[in-house]
Amino acid sequence: MIRAAARSYKRPRDPAMLGSMPSERPDPQLTINALLEASDRPHLPLAKTFVQQRNAKGKGRPGPLANFIAKHHERALRQYLLCHAVASGGDWGAAYPSQVWARGLRLDGTQLSARNAVSRNWAWLEEARLIDRGRMGRDAKITLLYDDGSGDPYCHPHHRKPRERFLTLPYAFWRQGWDGKLDLPGIAVLLILLHEKPGYVPLVAERMPDWYGISTSTFEKGVQTLRRNDLLERRRDKVDAPLSDTGFTFVYRYRLLDAFERQEGKEAGKSD
């Protein structure tokens, strides 16, 4: 019994050698950086109609972003944004192994479960008429459709007729790891504020369902997420309300900070 135990005993590895051994799990950030470098641009141009659309009378109504919120499809939204960032820098398409996308999305779990999650997200995005799927060898070839969910072929918003406005999502969203730190409400509010003009933006939580298709509670959770990560500043302004009991009221205004801060009159991409 003693000899058998001795034969099965394995000497521990030298800790010094362990430090020089390559990691068994690739670093997702390296994959993200490589994907973004292939696009050869500093930010993602996203048509403002993805966030909010206008009817014939000019009244705002929710864009495709609202569907991601309603279905709680955080992963699908992150996958769409990453794919869009990669594909909009070339021929509006991208073809990589599903495991590359899984690493780029920082997905946990087994390789099989991660690949299946990527495939399910592609299927949902295709049903939402935001992408088209084909094949390039063994890999799925993902081609962008227009951001408004119409199913139209993709083109840069400035090349549409009439020309459309777009927001810009800085690549710092991925390079600084915010894609993995922000939850779905946080990403939604970030896109909503990028959709608005730079500076302090007056937003009324109770109007979020009509304007953007997200609930008041989702908006408030998103604000909390961004403020907790020092990406959002909120101030309360006193404004006149002559017909109210007190003659005044308070309005909250929001301004993005850090990598997402924009200056008045210098909005990235000249989207206006």
- Checking if the pLDDT of 2 tops 60, the result is no
Amino acid residing at 245: D
Q: What is the pTM of this model?
A: 0.84
pLDDT digits (tens, 9 = 90+) for 203-232: 989 999 999 999 999 999 999 999 999 999
3-state secondary structure of 69: helix
pLDDT digits (tens, 9 = 90+) for 42-64: 999 999 999 999 766 667 789 99
Q: What is the Cα–Cα distance from 204 to 227, expressed in whole angstroms?
A: 17
Q: What is the Cα–Cα distance from 78 to 74, expressed in whole angstroms?
A: 6
Q: What is the Cα–Cα distance from 94 to 159, expressed in whole angstroms?
A: 21
How far are the Cα atoms of 51, 63, 114 from residue 204, in angstroms, in the given order? 16, 18, 38
pLDDT digits (tens, 9 = 90+) for 175-209: 999 999 999 999 999 999 999 999 999 998 999 99
- Checking if the pLDDT of 240 tops 80, the result is no
The pLDDT value given to residue 185: 98
DSSP class of 12: P
Higher pLDDT, 86 or 41: 86
Amino acid residing at 263: Q
N-terminal to C-terminal alpha carbon distance within the chain = 80
